[in-house]
Chain A
Amino acid sequence: MPEARPPGASPAVSARELSKRFGDFVAVDRVSFEVAPGEIFGFLGPNGAGKSTTIRMLCGILSPSGGAGTVAGCDVGREPEKIKARIGYMSQKFSLYEDLTVEENIDFYSGIYRIPRGRKRQRKEWAIRMAGLAEHRRTRTAVLSGGWKQRLALGCAVLHEPPVVFLDEPTSGVDPLSRRRFWDLIYEMAGSGTAVFVTTHYLDEAEHCDRLGLIYRGELIALGGPAELKTRLMREQVVEVLCDRPAEALEAVAAVPGVREVALYGAGLHALVGDAEAAAPALGARLAAAGFRPGRIERIAPSLEDVFVSLIEERDRAGGAVPEVER
């Protein structure tokens, strides 16, 4: 699924058939994509789908079993150490030293990244301001709240202003306000030309990305912008069904011919159907016959969740009964 790029602009990240096997288990299966400078690339998928494995291979800390990739112009297999000087990586646990203060954590990474003496002070102040920790410079990070830790971890990871940033589920376990603030920082970085590769399983966050990749059981099953995915990739149409007692109505709706999938969604139900025009009257009739009082039943634009549920269902059907693999 390659897309048109401005000529001459080399991608910040590119993966070609990148694979990782752990024994018999294929964690990442021939994944290919590109991320342009200044782009926010969202990598989505359920837990254990291969998100972290992919990110670790691109960061040069896990050797790929097959395929190739480049990050900031360096080869993933052959030049992992060169990559490490050109990226910022934030792993799932915000890897701060909890017994060290905010300043000591920053100073440590500043030394590790060898920030030039002249810029050291400036970058440190930037990181403290960015994280909103001006009042807590000498506080041990153990006592900071999740949002603070997460912003400080980001600050430490990008002290050296890398052209590519990898964030592995940076917002898990963080309150919504902090998540909002964190995304503002991501926008800011992307705005100054940094390529941001971010994994998440929050679909609302996926909407913030320029482009998305959906990984499922190690395979990349969709790639494109959020709007594009909702229109181009969706084979089924979504019908929203409002009625009383939606949880009980689930079964009745699922039994209507043409309904492939039905799920509770807010106060109503979302049904995936082949043809919404045909299905809507049938749905209303079936619900009324079963003793429900159907309200509005109409085709709606699918949400990303609808898209992903539909893509995953489709993949499961195509792949037959793939056994659930625990990692």
Chain B
Amino acid sequence: MSLRRLWAVARKEFLHVRRDARSLGMGIAMPVLLLCLFGWALTLDVDRVPLVVWDQCGSQSSRDLAAELAGSRYFALRGRAGSYAEIERAIDRREALGALVIPPDFDRRLWTGRGAPVQLIVDGSDANTATIASGYAQAAVRGYSQGVVLREIRRAGLRPPAPPLDPRARVWFNEDLTGRNYIIPGLIAVIMMVIAALLTALTVAREWERGTMEQLVSTPLKGPELVLGKLLPYFAIGMFDVLLAVLMGAFLFGVPMRGSLALLFAMAAVFLAGALSLGMLFSIVTRSQLLASQMAMVLTFLPAFLLSGLMYAIPNMPAGIRAVTYLVPARYFVHLLRGIYLKGVGLEVLAPEAALLAAFSAAMIALAMRKFRKKLT
């Protein structure tokens, strides 16, 4: 392998990128845009669920209950309803995701100790939000009802008994359960996967389509020199993207970074080398820009998005799909980034993922080099 030839290719490729607004845009603007878009939109937290209240009782206690819900960050009161028809209309128009119905005898039953039912209606067409919202509402109502019980006991001059079980849940690594802290590190991994593969998917195919490759294959240039030379400029762009993403994570999204930045960048470098080589492999095998970029989109974006553990926890997947996730390199990088970001752990814990990621990258580089043929077909 000649470093001089490798460098000649890298320099040329760098000039292409610098002069091509489209690839610069894709290389730098797109990851920033995607991170903003998904960072803000893709939140698994459910808060400020819009709620309407049908208070048929209209007493002090029924107003207290409604206020209890409205006062939490989980619900936002969107008005009052006077009938089930009105509730239905509000949910249909998506003005509300749920409704609280307080029956007319609420107050009476509460003070006579007969147990006062309240009804909670949740729009189940968004199952995830419905589950979470009804959980919140039940907790809020339970809290309210416990308060009532305690007050009654005290009023009777008794000492309230200790609850039989007293769970003290503490959340580690993401104390305030901010979904964003969990999403952003994984998102960086997935975005880098897609961008990297798309960046290189065009390079080799473009040269075949424009005819410059016919010239190149007639020179002493070797496959590894071409592959590595073409990777270099995109690798630089990719690392710059990672830097941007980390800065955005820290300053825009306020995601805490507990682990080693050096380890993060080292892992990003390993991952990028593999993802870029995968994109180039598509380019080498198809010799068509259209086909290669479609392959890069479908074969990296979907698995990275769905099977990397970014959106859906891998342990919850069926065994068959779980087995497939081992083939998704983004899975390892998502795991690594979350470990470094949220837990601050190092290689002592992450070694298996790091090793598998390195194996993937080495395989992709080797495959791209081997598959490049200096022959026409």
Contact = CB atoms under 8 A, between A and B. Distances in A.
Interface of A: 56, 59-63, 80-81, 84-85, 87, 89-93, 95-97, 99-100, 104, 107-114, 157
B243 to A, nearest CB: 27
Given A112-B221, A113-B220, A100 B215 contact: no
A97 B16 contact: yes
Given A61-B214, A95-B211, A95-B212, A112 B374 contact: no
B375 A95 contact: no
A107 B5 CA distance: 11
B219 A113 contact: yes
B20 interface: yes
B197 to A, nearest CB: 23
29 contacts: A59-B218, A61-B376, A62-B375, A81-B220, A81-B374, A84-B219, A84-B374, A89-B215, A90-B215, A91-B214, A93-B210, A93-B214, A95-B212, A97-B12, A97-B212, A99-B15, A99-B20, A100-B16, A104-B12, A104-B15, A107-B8, A108-B9, A109-B219, A111-B5, A111-B7, A111-B9, A112-B9, A114-B2, A157-B215
B168 interface: no
A81 B374 CA distance: 9
Contact of B215 (A60, A63, A80, A91): A91
Contacts of B374: 60-61, 80-81, 84
A63 B19 CA distance: 36
A52 to B, nearest CB: 10
Contacts, number: 82
A294 to B, nearest CB: 51
A247 to B, nearest CB: 40
B83 to A, nearest CB: 69
Given A61-B374, A63-B375, A100 B12 contact: yes
B7 A61 contact: no
B12 A84 contact: no
A89 B221 CA distance: 14
Nearest to B20: A99
B16 A99 contact: yes
A197 to B, nearest CB: 13
Specify which of B7, B9, B15, B218 lies most central, judged by the most chain A CB atoms within 10 Å of its CB: B218
B4 interface: yes
Interface of B: 2, 4-5, 7-9, 11-12, 15-16, 19-20, 210-212, 214-222, 374-376
B8 A89 contact: no
A50 to B, nearest CB: 14
A39 to B, nearest CB: 21
Specify which of B5, B211, B219, B220 lies most central, judged by the most chain A CB atoms within 10 Å of its CB: B219
Nearest to A83: B218
Contacts of A108: 8-9, 11-12
Contacts of A92: 211
B13 to A, nearest CB: 10
Contacts of B16: 97, 99-100
A155 to B, nearest CB: 13
B11 A99 contact: no
A65 B267 CA distance: 47
A80 B211 CA distance: 20
Contact of A100 (B15, B210, B218, B220): B15
Contacts of B4: 111, 114
Nearest to B219: A112
Q: Kindly list the 9 A-B residue pairs having the minimum CB-CB distance in the complex, ordered from nearest.
A: A111-B8, A95-B215, A93-B211, A89-B218, A85-B220, A95-B212, A91-B214, A108-B12, A99-B19
Contacts of A111: 4-5, 7-9, 11
A76 to B, nearest CB: 12
Nearest to B213: A95
Nearest to B226: A112
Contacts of A87: 218
A250 B9 CA distance: 58
A136 B281 CA distance: 37
Contacts of B8: 107-108, 110-112
Nearest to A105: B12
Specify which of B15, B212, B220 lies most central, judged by the most chain A CB atoms within 10 Å of its CB: B220
A227 B12 CA distance: 47
A109 B215 CA distance: 10
Contacts of A157: 215
Given A90-B215, A110-B8, A112-B216, 12 more contacts: A61-B218, A62-B375, A81-B374, A91-B218, A92-B211, A93-B214, A99-B19, A107-B8, A108-B11, A111-B7, A113-B219, A114-B4
Contacts of A97: 12, 16, 212
A158 to B, nearest CB: 12
A110 B20 CA distance: 23
A59 B220 CA distance: 11
A110 B221 CA distance: 12
A113 to B, nearest CB: 7
Nearest to A56: B376
Contacts of A95: 210-212, 214-216
B206 to A, nearest CB: 11
